[in-house]
Amino acid sequence: MQASTTVLIPFDNSYARELTGLYVAWQPAQVAAPRLLFFNDELAEELGLDAQALRGEEGASIFAGNTVPQGAQPIAQAYAGHQFGGFSPQLGDGRALLLGEIIDRQGHRRDLAFKGSGRTPFSRGGDGRAAVGPMLREVLIGEAMHALGIPTTRALAVAGTGESVVREEMLPGAVLTRVASSHLRVGTFQFFAARGEIDKLRQLAEYAIARHDPDLTGAPGRYLALLRRVAQRQARLIAQWMNVGFIHGVMNTDNMTISGETIDYGPCAFLEAYDPQAVFSSIDSQGRYAYGNQPGIAQWNLARLAEALLPLIVEDASEAAADRAVAEATAVIQAFPDLYQAALLRGQRAKLGLADTAAANDATDAALARDWLALLQAQQVDFTLGWRRLADAAGGDEAPLQALFAQPQALHEWLILWRQRCAEEGAVAPPARAEHMRRASPWIIPRNQRVEEALQAASREGDMAPFERLLAALRDPWQELPANAAFAEPAPAAVTACYRTFCGT
């Protein structure tokens, strides 16, 4: 293996430096024929990297894992996790490696990590590899989420390996380079808590605080405060998911971040017709991670984080206050539904065209949103288009909205209440209200059928054109550009009813 001589990526590896004993140093596997399939120029720019240099042959070699760039310190991170409710004490980076961290142009520390870079000591029965389709899927959904303003990890690059991976069929292999504000998960804390390694747990908590909540550094009660911060971030995140119809599909505790970014786009999907029970993942037969269950699951996962942090929270309190510390941690978890509801309502108000956020109107506005969603559900209206056409109605054009409803009478009754509520806000010009609403409800989401088409073409035929077209549309979700009309169309109900997603293994 050849080490690069120029510094292409200015690494500063705090995790490897400060958390000795919490990871295993490891090297990516060598692959046959590196080829760059995707490179994210915009993200490279944000990171202060030389896109031109990284797009070349050397970049392909780096992003396939064949050349470890100067300054990188690849490590496999340890973590545990509750998977579908059952605890796995050792998961860890089974096919991933943290290459290192860089400081972006805004001064934020970002992880660069591989996925699909070969076996590690955490691989268990897995081959450590990834296929082109699922890695490009991470690109599409991550870029879509980013364009929608939702905190997310993002793909910097996908490199084809020139090798096949064995799944139900042989598939072309790939390595993803993922950028995250960190890869700290609820499951990372669970790993050390479950082993009773309290010193390491404390080291990890201090590291997380320094990285994500630096204002809490050294503060009394900081472990409890960390829990509270994570709960706040997750409440906001899940509310954003719900307001665009995103279903993560595998909300195991190892897939929930401390940073509040969405991570691990495996069997995720977007709603078409509004249905709280929607499940697309082939492995989620019980519907544990159904669309409407996500807020409750987030709370459940946070309770697992609270348990993991408890030894620190108790130790942190004086002996007399230990009981109270436990009660306070419990209170943080119990407060989650209210935090979530508040975040949800903030988003819903924007989608309803309401600028007013007076607490006195909370109950009315929440009921207005609930009734609207009930209407969408009863008449199986496409979630994304329903909201979008409501904006048209605010601007004076009601026909496109009516066309989505088989029985418009119920819609008319709701519209009367909604118009009354809007009128209470005084004289907002209809076009201005409509424009505001269009900034809160996208026209383009990654529709499942379109995503599959793009991935099939890339994986089966090596044809990247459909992927490129879809990616361009997803990066511009707000404007109704005629060229993107095909990406805004709902799939036929029968297609959605049969749609299944699979874990990205």
Q: What is the set of active-site residues?
A: 254
Given the complex with Mg ion, which of 67 and 257 has the nearer CB atom? 257
| Per CB under 6 A, 257 contacts ligand AMP | no
Q: How many Å apart are CA 266 and CA 261, to the nearest integer?
A: 15
Provide the Cα torsion 188, 191, 197, 199; round to 10°: 0
- Which x/- pattern, by CB under 6 A, does the window 125-164 give for ligand AMP? -xxxx-----------------------------------
Between 255 and 301, CB nearer to Mg ion: 255
Residues 259-278, mask of contacts with ligand AMP (x by CB under 6 A): -----x-x------------
- Closest CB to ligand AMP among 121 and 462? 121
- CB-count exposure of residue 195 (10 Å: 0-12, 13-18, 19+): middle
Q: Are 155 and 113 in contact (CB under 8 A)?
A: no
176 near ligand AMP, rule: CB under 6 A: no
Q: Two tokens at 350?
A: 């924007």
Residue 505 binding ligand AMP, by CB under 6 A: yes
To ligand AMP, the closest distance from the beta carbon of 115 in angstroms equals: 8
Find the shortest distance in angstroms from Cβ 260 to ligand AMP. 18
Which partner in ligand AMP, Mg ion, none is near 379 (CB below 5 to 8 A by kind)?
none
Smallest distance from Mg ion to CB 320, Å: 41
What does 92 bind: Mg ion, ligand AMP, none (CB cut-off 5 to 8 Å by kind)? ligand AMP
Backbone angles phi, psi at 482, to 5 degrees: -50, -35
CB of 139 to ligand AMP, least distance (A): 15
Please identify which residue in 58, 93, 111, 272 interacts with ligand AMP, judged by CB under 6 A: 93
Neighbours of 109 (CB within 10 A): 16
Please report, as residue ranges, which positions from 103 to 132 form the binding site for ligand AMP (by CB under 6 A). 123, 126-129
Q: Binding ligand AMP by CB under 6 A: which of 94, 245, 295, 347?
A: 94
Q: Which range touches ligand AMP (CB under 6 A), out of 23-31, 41-49, 92-100, 419-427?
A: 92-100
Neighbours of 250 (CB within 10 A): 22
Minimum distance from CB of 136 to ligand AMP (Å)? 15
93 binds, among Mg ion, ligand AMP, none (CB under 5 to 8 A by kind): ligand AMP
Complex with ligand AMP: residue 353 or 504, whichever CB lies closer: 504
DSSP, res 115: E
CA-wise closest residue to 258 among 293, 223, 219: 223
Residues whose CB falls within 8 Å of the CB of residue 81, separated by 6 or more in sequence, listed in order:
87, 88, 91, 185, 186, 187, 190, 252, 253, 254, 255
Amino acid type, 185 = R
Neighbours of 200 (CB within 10 A): 18
| Interacting partner of 503 out of ligand AMP, Mg ion, none (Cβ under 5 to 8 A depending on kind) | ligand AMP
**Distances in Å between the alpha carbon of 405 and those of 221, 297, 422?**
53, 32, 22
Q: Does 95 bind ligand AMP (CB under 6 A)?
A: yes
Number of residues that bind ligand AMP (CB under 6 A): 17
The nearest distance, CB 175 to ligand AMP, in angstroms, is: 12
Between 95 and 236, name the residue whose CB sits nearer to ligand AMP.
Answer: 95
Exactly one of 60, 96, 308, 451 binds ligand AMP (CB under 6 A); that residue is 96
- Whole-number Å distance between alpha carbons of 409 and 414: 9
The pair of three-digit structure tokens given for residue 423, joined into one six-digit string:
């009128």
Helix (H) / strand (E) containing 197? none
The nearer residue to Mg ion, 255 or 448, going by C-beta atoms, is 255
Burial of 242 (0-12, 13-18, 19+ CB in 10 A): buried
Instruction: Return the number of the residue (121 or 149) whose C-beta is nearest Mg ion.
Output: 121
State the nearest-atom distance from the C-beta of 81 to ligand AMP, in Å. Answer: 7
Residue 74 in tokens: 């690849």
Of 69 and 81, the one with the shorter C-beta distance to Mg ion is 81
Shortest distance in whole angstroms from residue 153 CB to Mg ion: 11
Q: Which residues here bind Mg ion, judged by CB under 5 A?
A: 255, 264
Task: Give the type of residue at 364.
Answer: T
Q: For residue 112, which of 125, 99, 124 has the smallest C-alpha distance?
A: 99
Residue 92 in the binding site for ligand AMP (CB under 6 A)? yes
Q: Which residue is nearest to ligand AMP (CB)?
A: 126
Does residue 169 sit in helix, strand or coil?
coil
**Helix%, strand%, coil% for the chain, nearest 5:** 50, 15, 35
For residue 447, give the amino acid letter. Answer: R
Residue 15 tokens read as: 């995790």
Which residues of this chain interact with ligand AMP, rule CB under 6 A? Answer: 91-96, 123, 126-129, 255, 264, 266, 503-505
